[in-house]
Chain A
Amino acid sequence: MELNRRNFLKLGAATGALAYVGGQAVVSAEELLKGGKDFDKKGQARKAIPSSCFQCPAICGIIAYVENGRVVKIEGNPAHPNNQGTLCAKGQAGISQAYDAQRILYPMVQTKERGDKTGWKRVSWDEALDLVARRMKKNIDEKRPDKIYLMPGRDRSAGYLARFAAAIGTPHVISRSGTCSQSKKAGFMEAWGYDSNWNDYANAKVVLNFGHGVMESGSVFVGNSKQAVKGIVENGTYFVTIDPRLSNTAAKSSEWVPIKPGTDLAMLLAMHYVILKNNLQDPDMAKWFNYPLDKYLEHLEKNGYTPAWAEKICGVPAATIERLAKLFATKKPGCVTAYKGIGTHTNGAMTTKAVILLAALVGNLNVKGGTFYNKTASFKNPPAPPAATAKKTPALKSNPLQSDANTTLFEKWSEGVGEVDMIMTWVHNPVYVLGNAQQKIDILKDRKKIPFFAAIDLFMSESTALADVVLPDVSYLERNDPESHYPVSGKPWVAIRQNVLKGEKPIGEGKEQCEILRAIAQKLGPEYGKYFDISREEYVRFSVRDSLPGFEDWGGYEKLKQVGVYAYEYPTGKFEYDGLAKKTVADKDLEGTIFDEKTGIYYKPLKDKEGKLIEKDGQPQPDTAAAVGIKLEDGKVYKGWNTGHKKIGLFSEKWEKQFPGMGLPVWAQSTTVAEAKEGELILFQYKFATMTHSRTSNCKWLSELRHDNPILMNPADARKLGLKDGDKVKVTSKTNAKVFTLQVTEGVMPGTAGNGWGPGHWEYGAFATAGEGVTAEMKAADPDYGRIWWKEKGTNGNWLPAPVTDPIGGSQEWATPVKIAKA
């Protein structure tokens, strides 16, 4: 591929200098309608097609510049309120996803043992789909569709995969969220009824960041970096990052507070204590907690959750904890943020619940400069099949509170729990992204344990390499999805992902995932196919209709295809910070509601599908999922919080019932950290700014920047262990031992060892594996295959963690005690 499209000298001589338009990107959304602004070597403007990134879950707006049927450049879409015309390294490197010479181009069947590279046979789509559909039909006919497991990596199909699952009757759609945000979602949900938040960093006076890669890798990091840097540089925000590692984010922060992995809960409990003990809570917030704050203080005191107690557990000096608690309570507004970092421990849900409670205690929820929830677009689906009737196998989860079984699934399968006949993955790499990689390999390789394995994928991943049938996917540059995600700038938005190569010569025979599902459904027969009689593009058109106020008047789907994104503007011109809990409910909205004396909650009456009242003994019944408001002691009816009880969930009835003693926030030790023996270090995982966990190592410009993931170790530990920077070290955990490169740095807490996710592939192509298997044909397709200069390809940290999960939230525990010695 020849991307060097400039002969600047000749161009310079021919055109002379034009006026410079200063300061910022010059392509406006309206200009996009006219074809955008990027130039080929003749100075001609390129065809510009807006779409949505999918290199990471942030879903930034992009513009693909197309020349001679190829995408030659990806830039940020200036119309997008989150990334505002800019784009990170990963987003720009996404060209590789489409043009990687090792992309899977045809359906393939494994004719030998699973994982045998010589066993692949190219087959027709018809043959491959027949194989998959016949296997599904067999399970359906035996009335056991629950033996079919659908396992998406990142499902952005907006209901299409769920529709397929419902049509074939399987309840088993198992995501990968336990690798990441599952416990965080559970904790946040319990505290305030939303599984996420966003933070008004730009307007905050203080930010407490518990282990979140706000300015490097965390969810929506491009948009968040803009807001955070604006706050720090322009508005004097005091930004505190609490993290075992001097991350990029910690480096940009006003203060770095090193902490032992998995112990943030101790610090948070002590901060709750300091705030209540010193009477620094927001007086207006007291009435909003579902448990009296004076009693909560008693509980904290009784348990001795003081800063001095916390220091012994988390390693943060008591004085620092006290200072930060007082700062957060007195210098307002401020926000508190957390994501995977503190959520992926066995105390993850409890810890993240304590995060939202901290914001609530001082009144920093839903205020300008505070922590927020904000809406995303709501997508509608065409009439769907009835929900699956087959029962989920409840024993797959370690307890019923967990929203998903993904982290325990392989355990249960290895124990023989949960009958499985076939799995179908979609760009999901369980071998690479879940803990204890070897166990996943052993199970996926075993045809007795998993009789049939179909993979929809674009690349030979470590998991897809073990499949029986591979159905070729297309890259995110060639697919169609409706999109909406966190509105980090305060503007909710709806965007489109579209095939930017539409009308060009297709690359191989790949089909987008939803079209593959549609083709399988049609093979299964008309009773299944009838739910899939619209194309993916038409489905997207249907989904986005009226998805945000004002969208249709703006131009709707047709304009979305041309501009890429619609951002909702609040009528007042600014975000309505206080638009949620504390608003009172108008009398007319209470008409026809049912008042519950005990809780003070007004519910809508329960109705059936046709909208008819469901009555019991002649009385309408409350729909407990549809609370309209709550009457407080002041006699006013407020909208209330999003929790079922309409208050801030200091006490969790659900958790108390399942785990007695865990209803209120209590200290719970990370079980793996608790097992650490003398001389062991706590290994923790993090993400690089230039690499995702499992699906970007084939991008050449990213692997060039980030091909190794050395173990980070403090010099004090290195001295003790007789190790030096650059050494090869053997890292041994309870489950495995692997060799890594050592990086000695002052930027990591003594007693801990850091390891970044991404590098360490043994599949995923030449760029991911430091040049393995480069052929002359590949070099002809892209000379850069011949220029792979790096020798290190890293080691996947996922070999080491034991498969331990948070009992409440279900996330994988990523902190792992390890022995480290010279290899």
Chain B
Amino acid sequence: MSTKRYGMVIDLRRCVGCEGCTVACKSENGVPLGHFRTWVQKHEKGVFPNVSMQFVPKLCNHCEDPACVSVCPTGASFKRSEDGIVLINQDDCIGCKYCMVSCPYGVRYLDESKGVVDKCTWCVHRVEQGVVPSCVNTCITGARIFGDLNDPHSDIAKFIATHPVQQLKPEAGLGPNVYYVALDKDFNTTLGNR
């Protein structure tokens, strides 16, 4: 079996900022109030009347070389060899938050009720059943594409082959697997969580 490398494209030309993905994720994964595994940042620039606004959905980038995995003292954070999904083994997590500090994208949170760190899993439970992640499933304008970057016949690989794409903070050198279309370079430096 060849190795998969899951990735996501978010086409910002299509995102209308409805936050359907944000709620789909909370509902699908039972994310407690106060935390988000995906969210939509709204960036405004310009001076009236020449003002523009862009919506930028954010989530775990499931990096090629994830800082959160290398700093984890217990090995709870790990990257799955078979498909590249970055997960947390909650039985081994001690809630030290090193990973939260190390992540340049601010996508991890401490679930106080369990004392463990949590984040986007790319809806691994759905993906394993052949169903796209909940945020992708619900996106009203089809702005999110999910699939195997290693499979040249996948929608995502075909899309990336034919469209210019950007990553968030490529300079961090972590190899993020979330790609954006039409990302305003002025917004790329905006840090982290909501």
The chain A residues found within 8 Å of chain B, CB to CB, are 2-6, 8-9, 11-12, 15-26, 37-39, 41, 43, 73-76, 83, 85-89, 91-93, 95, 215-216, 221-222, 225-226, 229, 232-233, 246, 248-249, 251-252, 256, 258, 689-690, 700-702, 704-705, 714-716, 745-750, 783-784, 787-789
Contacts and interface: CB of A to CB of B under 8 A. Distances in A.
Contacts of B51: 246, 256, 746-747
Interface string B1-34: 0001000000101101111101110111110111
Given A75-B138, A788-B33, A747 B147 contact: no
A764 B32 CA distance: 21
Nearest to B13: A233
Contact of A225 (B26, B141, B146, B147): B141
A690 B27 contact: no
Contacts, number: 200
Given A23-B145, A39-B131, A256-B49, A229 B125 contact: no
B131 A704 contact: no
A74 B137 CA distance: 12
A260 to B, nearest CB: 13
B148 interface: yes
A356 to B, nearest CB: 26
B16 A18 contact: no
A86 B28 CA distance: 14
Nearest to B157: A22
B23 A86 contact: no
Closest 10 CB pairs of A and B: A4-B30, A3-B30, A251-B53, A787-B33, A89-B23, A229-B141, A215-B16, A23-B155, A86-B140, A746-B51
B126 to A, nearest CB: 7
B18 A22 contact: no
Contact of A89 (B22, B90, B155): B22
A11 B90 CA distance: 13
A653 B11 CA distance: 50
Question: Which residue of B4, B49, B124, B142 has the most chain A CB atoms within 10 A of its CB atom?
Answer: B49
Given A92-B24, A690-B19, A702-B23, A225 B145 contact: no
A249 B156 CA distance: 27
A714 B48 contact: yes
A39 B4 contact: no
Question: Which residue of A11, A20, A75, A88 has the most chain B CB atoms within 10 A of its CB atom?
Answer: A20
Nearest to A784: B33
A715 B44 CA distance: 14
A746 B52 CA distance: 9
Contacts of B64: none
A17 B147 contact: no
A788 B17 CA distance: 23
A229 B34 CA distance: 31
Contacts of B20: 86-89, 91-92
Given A89-B19, A251-B53, A702-B23, A783 B113 contact: yes
A8 B30 contact: no
Interface in B96-141: 113, 121, 124-132, 137-141
Nearest to A251: B53
Contacts of B47: 746
B28 A16 contact: no
6 contacts: A4-B30, A18-B130, A73-B27, A233-B13, A258-B49, A704-B34
Contact of A93 (B27, B34, B80): B27
A9 B78 CA distance: 11
B147 A22 contact: yes
Contacts of A41: 125
A5 B27 contact: no
B27 A3 contact: yes
Contact of A216 (B18, B22, B130, B131): B18
Given A9-B90, A18-B129, A22-B155, A258 B48 contact: yes
Contacts of B155: 22-23
A251 B52 contact: yes
Contacts of B179: none
A17 B30 contact: no
B178 to A, nearest CB: 17
